[in-house]
């Protein structure tokens, strides 16, 4: 994550401009000029601080993680189940922060990352941060004695988040409606239920 001293003035405006440009044009047609057109900043200012659009995309991925960090900080001390649900809302296609057009752009980014080592590393860092944030919510639930103490929070976090992200990606690419809703419903009734100390189901978890 970039240090604040390395960020240009109006960093947040530039990041939201990148967000809007990605949603509008996708990754393939994205240019620094198109990003600048979504903000009050000039193309030359963006080019001064970011050598390439991939460098700007890397900063944008950090920005998304920062947004999620900020949202989670506001819910510190809240019910762990509500925090978990709110976390998953962030990765569900169709929200203001994560519209379907952004999902399409992220799918493009994944394809580019197959042959772009720097971008692949940044996307891996982004995912790892998100896994850690969700594992932290589960750990808080364990500390509050809402979730069982014998579970592997990191394994659960990866499984839950990848399930929702995978469903969202497939729903976007295939157009099959309801995939994400179905997966989330199953996560609630089977996987998340298995986290609870007072779960009436089988307490033996394959992720323990």
Asked if pLDDT for residue 4 goes beyond 70, the answer is no
d(CA 123, CA 58): 8
196 pairs with which residues across the strands?
Answer: 147
Over the stretch 163-195, which tens digit does the pLDDT of each residue have? 998 998 888 889 898 998 899 899 988 999 889
Please spell the DSSP secondary structure of 17-58, one letter per residue.
HHHHHHHHHTTTT--HHHHHHTSSS-HHHHHHH-SSHHHHHH
Residue 45: closest CA among 54, 32, 62:
32
Over the stretch 127-152, which tens digit does the pLDDT of each residue have? 899 899 899 999 999 999 999 999 99
Asked if pLDDT for residue 100 goes beyond 80, the answer is no
Question: Which domains are assigned to the chain?
Answer: 1-64 (1.10.10.60), 75-208 (1.10.357)
Looking at the chain, the whole-number percentage of residues with pLDDT higher than 70 is 88
CA angle, residues 178, 120, 138, in degrees to nearest 5: 55
pTM: 0.76
């Amino acid at each position: 994550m970039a240090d604040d001293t390395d960020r240009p003035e109006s960093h947040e405006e530039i990041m939201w401009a990148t967000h809007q440009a990605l949603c509008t044009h996708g990754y393939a047609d994205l240019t620094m000029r198109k990003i600048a057109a979504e903000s009050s900043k000039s193309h030359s200012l963006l080019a001064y601080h970011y050598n390439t659009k991939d460098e700007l995309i890397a900063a944008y991925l950090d920005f998304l993680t920062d947004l999620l960090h900020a949202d989670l900080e506001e819910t510190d001390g809240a019910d762990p189940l509500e925090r978990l649900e709110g976390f998953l809302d962030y990765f569900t296609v169709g929200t203001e922060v994560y519209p379907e057009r952004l999902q399409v752009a992220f799918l493009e980014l994944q394809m580019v990352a197959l042959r772009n080592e720097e971008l692949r590393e940044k996307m891996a860092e982004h995912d790892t941060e998100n896994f850690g944030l969700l594992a932290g919510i589960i750990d808080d639930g364990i500390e509050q004695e809402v979730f069982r103490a014998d579970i592997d929070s990191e394994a659960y976090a990866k499984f839950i988040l990848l399930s929702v992200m995978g469903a969202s990606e497939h729903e976007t690419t295939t157009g099959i409606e309801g995939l994400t809703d179905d997966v989330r419903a199953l996560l609630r009734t089977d996987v998340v239920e298995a986290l609870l100390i007072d779960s009436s189901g089988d307490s033996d978890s394959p992720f323990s």
